[in-house]
Amino acid sequence: MAKQNIEVYLSRLGRYFKNLDRIGKMWYILAGFSLILITVLFSFTILNHDFYKNLADYYQKTTVTNPDSRGTISSSTASLHGTVAVSTDLGTLAIDPVQTGSTTKLLDLLGTAVVTQFCSQETRANCIENIASYTRNEELKTTQGLTDEELKKRVEEYIKGRMNTPVESMFLAENLSDEAINQINNLNNPALFFASNNLYVNPTKVQNGDDLASKLAGIIGKTADEIKPAFVVKQKRHLEIIRKMNIATHDLVENALEKNRETTKQAITDARSKVSDTKETKAAEEAALLEYAIYPFIKIEPNLVRYYPEGSAMGQITGYVNGEGVGQYGIEGYFEKDLQGEAPKQVITKDSSGRPLRDYTSTGSISGQNGANITLTIDRNIQKEVSKILEKNVKNFRANRGSVIVTDPKTGAITAMVNYPSYDPNQFTEVHEIEPVQYADYPKPGYDLFGFPMFVVDSEKGTLTHNIDGKLVKLRQATDDEINNNAIQKFKYKNGYGVGNYQNSVISALYEPGSVFKAITVAIGLDTGEITPNMSYYDKNSVTLDYGGGAKTVISNYSKSRCGGRHTYTSALNWSCNVGMIDIVEKVGRSLFDSYIRNFGFGAKSDLTIDGEVFSQIAPYDRWSRAQFFTMSFGQGISITMLQMAAAYNVLANGGIYMQPYIVESITYPNNKKIDNVPIQLRRVIKEETSKTITAMLVDGVRNGYAAAGAVPGYTMAGKTGTSQIPYKGTYENLYFNQAVGHTVTSYGGYAPAYNPKFVMVVMLERPRTSGDSEKTAAALYKEIASYLLTYYNVPKWQD
């Protein structure tokens, strides 16, 4: 019965629709669609609200780890506790060039922002160099008298040019095999280039798209139709202006945008009030935007990073935090567990293009636990100034590298520890960058770049893969013959040593100290009572070790005219007489000499709380050859670090006590528990009277000997020069090449004021190419830094 009723109802309904006119039928169809739409929307918003909200969140929100939980690293309280490592949001400034607004006002803001970013805390020379690098205009570096306004105009012109250029990079394929990379390189197509193992195309350079697409299809596993859309030339919608804005730049841009919104809003309101027609209103609004608006162009994207305000000046002390959030090298590496904490997370809302919205911080967060804060003994002011002085001197003396350590001899605290070249922990991956060796700069690579790694292209035996002019090529270490053949293209690291610059050479590089060590030998002779300053000895200018069968070793003095004949041990120290040092250790004996040098800290780690410290063991004295015993007396045949040398000079300067070297002033944990480092006297090494005597001898050396080259007029200073050989192929470089210049290490150690020292300092230059002597290289470096330090510490000059 029910079935019959339904059939009757449907029959009547069909006749009813048949009798409706066309318009009536359309109304019923529209009503049906409306009912379906209402049902679907009801399902989305009410019945399945949670499901669709979660789906929307998936596409509109992303969760990012906030590194704010990692502890802060600061410089010493004495230098106003400046921050040297902090976790923060350094927004990336970018623009969308196709938006509606005033490009003139936009360029004005961007030019100001770039100059602020790269010049506000820099010397004039560094400012110009930074802007030259940013605008890729090397001529700026040699242009005289450029004002900030002129630099700003150069930046604006550069950005304007970039705004008008099309997209030059489109992704094609990732993680390609070596075979695929070789096949693509063999195409020799200038439109194709690599980043790592990923393939990109520059659409503006594509000549025959169909042909190129078909060739690539057989290599990268995509069809030609899938490849060809990447060849279409498009206008840029995203142009990065500044990555990792500093605080000053970030504030400048934010304040400018806030004012611009208000100004533009008022301009639009005024424009609307002058018209009544809808069409005219829209035109007036657009005109106001074109005249005033900047904000539609601007994108400030969150960039939650570990930031190092001092850059390369502190890089080898702080270390860096890698992409996984783990500390590497330096303080970051050594105190990883203490600094780490438990990172909070932020939920960031994205717009329809996947870009984070400006108010990303307000969308939600997951709490974490902060890490410990660490305060260093490093004086930020000294560290920065010494970095500048060292860089200048390394370049002036054409040395491979240089290092400086400054300590407080009374406490053992390290106030500065600097190397050049270094690296910027904010851009830590840049150490991998290579460049061609330019023969105009290095006409004799075998000499001019000796000691630096150099590479040649070798597709078969190469083990290092690098991107050169958009092509991935394999490199290997160059042989000596290849290095000396200028017909062969060679490459080098831009920073000299690649990942080697992550290491802090003051603590991680061993060297033979040379004559700086003689102050230690003389102090041992004085402390044992074997010599006195005015005791005389006869110097034959050389010592011959006869091994029998015609095998001999001859050890000679550097200056035969100053060292030969009868003179005092003070004179022997002043003029760095090797034979005089041999005379002293023969009097002291092996056993006692061995005991003393170990008490001075050689042959063992200092246990400095920073990642990367190394040391070289000293063999038991009964295993020393006679030659080794003799050469150790003047700092050859013994390998040490600069930290060890500085710690030993602390002993000479402070009355004879070995102070535990330290670089961490304090650690403060989240529960407010604070651990303060206090100076630790580990042991007495020499008598207080010996300390006074060796100091007087070193003062005499600064007044009358080779060390005079490091003297600062008006101050009583203690110091000693040192020139040492570099081991090479079973001998020394200077002997192997029969040339000293470019094949020595020059150094200088000392303290000032001599009788109440504010600092101990040791400096070193490796392979200076202007001179092989310390009094002409390292002494000049020491003098310049010492002059700064004496002024910085407000040390008054003595009165005549």
Find where tokens 């870009």 sit: 355
Tell whether 480 and 576 lie within a shared domain: no
For residues 524 and 584, give the distance between their C-alpha atoms in angstroms, rounded to a whole number.
9
Do 346 and 483 lie in a common domain?
Answer: no
Residue with tokens 């000549």: 207
| 516 and 661 co-located in one domain | yes
Could you tell me if 765 and 706 lie in one domain? yes
Supply the range of the domain harboring residue 553: 507-792
Residues constituting the chain: 800
The answer on 632 and 564 residing in a single domain is: yes
Within a domain: 589: yes
| Cα radius of gyration rounded to whole Å, the chain | 36
The pLDDT value given to residue 280: 84
Q: How far apart are CA 530 and CA 569, in angstroms?
A: 11
For residues 150 and 139, give the distance between their C-alpha atoms in angstroms, rounded to a whole number.
Answer: 14
Is the bond preceding 309 in cis, omega lying within 30 degrees of 0? Answer: no
> 644 by DSSP, 3-state: which?
helix
297 part of a folded domain: no
Which candidate, 172, 179, 216, places its Cα nearest to that of 198? 172
Of 212, 235, 258, the position where a domain reaches its end is 235
Q: Report the C-alpha gap between 19 and 346 in whole angstroms.
A: 64
Both tokens of 21, joined, read 């006119």
Query: What are 274-309's pLDDT values in tens digits?
Result: 887 778 888 888 898 999 999 999 999 888 889 999
Q: Do 634 and 690 fall into the same domain? A: yes
Same domain for 457 and 532, yes or no, is no
User: pLDDT digit string (tens) for 548-570?
Assistant: 777 788 999 999 999 999 999 99
Cβ within 8 Å of residue 589, ≥6 positions away: none
Residues paired with 474 in a beta bridge:
465
162 in a structural domain: no
Q: Does 639 map to a domain?
A: yes
Q: Please, are residues 406 and 761 in contact by the beta-carbon 8 Å criterion?
A: yes
Token pair 């092996």 is found at 590
Q: At what angle do helices 247-273 and 278-292 cross, to 10 degrees?
A: 150
More reliable by pLDDT, 687 or 358: 687
Query: Quick check: 95 pLDDT over 80?
Result: yes
If one counts the domains in the chain, the total is: 5
Looking at this protein, which amino acid is placed at residue 627?
A
Q: b vs e for 95-132, b when ≥16 Cβ sit within 10 Å of the residue's Cβ? A: bbbebebbbebbbbbbbbbbbbbbbeeeeeeebbbbbb
Q: What band does 120 get if pLDDT is binned at 50, 70 and 90? A: confident
Ramachandran class of 406: left when φ > 0, alpha when ψ lies in -120 to 50, beta otherwise: beta
Closest-CA residue to 614 (of 622, 606, 624): 606
Residue ending a domain, choose from 493, 519, 541: 493
- Across the range 768-785, mean pLDDT stands at 97
Structure tokens at 123: 């010397």
Mean pLDDT of 645-659: 99
Range of lowest pLDDT (110-114, 181-185, 194-198, 566-570): 194-198
Question: pLDDT band for position 124 (50/70/90)?
Answer: confident
**Mean pLDDT of the 304-333 span:** 94
Single out the residue of 631, 651, 643, 619 nearest to residue 724, CA to CA: 631
pLDDT for the residue numbered 139: 87
> Per mean pLDDT, which of 243-247, 345-349, 389-393 is the most reliable?
389-393
Q: How far apart are CA 456 and CA 466, in angstroms?
A: 11
CATH of the domain at 320: 3.90.1310.10
215 in the same domain as 174: yes
Would the pLDDT of 397 be above 60?
Answer: yes
Tell me what pLDDT residue 419 has.
98
Tokens representing 53 are 């909200």
Decide: residue 273, CB within 10 A, 0-12 exposed, 13-18 middle, 19+ buried. Answer: exposed
pLDDT of amino acid 94: 94
The pLDDT of residue 141: 84
Kindly report the backbone phi and psi dihedral angles of residue 61, in degrees, each rounded to the nearest multiple of 5, phi listed first: -125, 150
In contact, 119 and 127? CB cutoff 8 Å: yes
Residue 567 lies in a domain: yes
Respond yes or no on whether the N-terminal peptide bond of residue 229 is cis (omega within 30° of 0): no
On whether residue 95 sits in a domain, the answer given is no
Domain boundary among 376, 402, 417: 376
Rounded CA separation 548/546 (Å): 6
What pairs with residue 321 in β-bridges?
Answer: 327
- Rounded to an integer, the average pLDDT of 462-491 is 90
Amino acid letter, residue 451: G
Cis geometry, peptide bond prior to residue 753 (ω within 30 degrees of 0): yes
Q: What is the pLDDT of residue 717?
A: 98
pLDDT at 143: 83
Average pLDDT of the chain, as a whole number: 88
Q: Residue 121: inside a domain, yes or no?
A: no
Same domain, 657 and 741: yes
Write the CB contacts of 264 (distance below 8 Å, at least 6 apart in sequence). Answer: 288, 289, 292, 293, 294, 295
What is the Cα–Cα distance from 568 to 558, expressed in whole angstroms? Answer: 17
- Model confidence at 696, in pLDDT bands (50, 70, 90)? very high
181 shares its domain with 231:
yes
Please give the helix or strand (H or E) that residue 475 lies within, else none: strand 471-477
* Residue 163 in domain: no
Alpha helices in 589-639 (DSSP H): 590-599, 626-632
Say whether 620 sits in a helix, a strand or coil: coil
CATH number at residue 586: 3.40.710.10
| pLDDT, position 749 | 98
Q: Are residues 545 and 453 in the same domain?
A: no
Q: Do 449 and 519 reside in the same domain of the chain?
A: no
d(CA 15, CA 12): 5
Each residue's pLDDT tens digit, 571-622: 999 999 999 999 999 999 999 999 999 999 999 999 999 999 999 999 999 9
